[in-house]
Structure 1
């Protein structure tokens, strides 16, 4: 590197390349040269938006119609998500927790649950009617010793246990438990046909008589009708 000037007039002064570069770096590292530089956070934000812009440009270039086509695809995807959410309701919780217990209040008899279900049905309150009728079914099976009373039991658990003992009603019990879960946890609404199906299941289970082959625990065998 050659620098012209100095006390000797215009005589060139040769400075080695590496020391010259180091001297320039030291000079440029002075705070006075960086007073207006963006902060580390601002630089990070700028790089993020640059990345988003590049991603959007790449997606627009790969989509027929460019940006307009990309917006149209996004609208269609959002519409599909909204339709699925409306159709399926709030995703159901799969793990059973203490809040999923079938009975959420003090102990009541099957007759009391049936009476509550009938009152709700008369008022057109089908969600509550479905809940109370399912509780009546499980409480009735407990009263008949076809299910062991167990605090914290969920509708799904009760249906599975009773279905093993009452195989001809297993599908109806599972459907009743699904209806209970849908209105209780899934944000769905029941209607009169849904309630009537559970009501008919309750009546059918009441007519089911155990045989003498009934054993302790779940060794119940359904008698011919």
Structure 2
């Protein structure tokens, strides 16, 4: 029997038990807080992932509703963006190329053109085409320095060497620029060279070695 907010239980000679509403509520909360009642609930990470996917789905639904063609139109736009990004990456290379493209051509002590050629051929024989291309480009520049067509200068980049050499070897200006660009691509741009790439650079090196330069007047 309930009287005045108290629960009274009568039974024989046992004195009645009374429990206040506040005490009953606290007891119920303590009982429901036990782990046994929550063991099947998803964890914090799972709840966070569920919220994230709900949020992402909501954004996709809104975007598809505002895009001509609905979901298919949105998918087509996403594919176009991905293709454009891939084409841009292929054209420009990875960002580290732009950050390091001005690094010096020679990263070791002075070596002769013959030394660089020997190293290039050894790398090529082992199939290490990136290293072979790098050493062959160094052989080209060192050979031009040995022939006094370039002044030996520490810190010179491949692009600078190509531009300076083109003044006395104008017929090979395009080949020199292409060689410098190839050197930058494999050294700083994350590109991978192959046997054809190395063969072109090797041919340029041998051709330049037998090309008579055009003497220019050093005074303006």
TM-score (norm 2): 0.64
Q: Does residue 117 in structure 1 map to residue 120 in structure 2?
A: yes
* Structure-1 separation of matches of 2:168 and 2:91: 34
CA deviation profile, 1:146-184 (whole Å, cap 9, x unmatched) = 000111100000000001110011111111111101100
- The equivalent of 2:176 in structure 1 is 173
Post-superposition shift, 1:71? 4.5
Residues of 1 paired with 2:100 and 2:124: CA distance? 30
Q: Which runs of 5+ in 2 are unaligned?
A: 1-54
Structure 2 distance, partners of 1:182, 1:203, is 22
Q: Which residue of 2 aligns with 1:197?
A: 200
Equivalence for 1:105? 108
Q: Match of 1:62?
A: 66
Out of 140, 159, 166, the residue aligned to residue 162 of structure 2 is 159
Unaligned stretches of 5+ residues in structure 1 = 1-49, 220-225
TM superposition score normalised by structure 1 = 0.63
- Give the corresponding residue for 2:129: 126
- 3-state DSSP class of the match of 1:93? helix
Match of 1:124, SS state, is coil
- Three-state SS of the structure 2 residue aligned to 1:201 is helix
Q: Where in structure 2 are the equivalents of 1:1-150 lying within 5 Å?
A: 57=62, 59-67=63-71, 69-82=73-86, 84-85=88-89, 89-91=93-95, 92-93=97-98, 97=102, 100-150=103-153
- Detail structure 1 runs of 4+ shifted over 6 Å in the superposition: 53-56
CA RMSD of aligned residues (A): 3.1
After TM superposition, give the deviation of residue 208 of structure 1 in Å.
Answer: 1.7
> Larger RCO: Structure 1 or Structure 2 (Cα < 8 Å, ≥ 6 residues apart)?
2
User: 1:4-61: CA deviations, max 9, x gaps?
Assistant: xxxxxxxxxxxxxxxxxxxxxxxxxxxxxxxxxxxxxxxxxxxxxx9xx79983x434
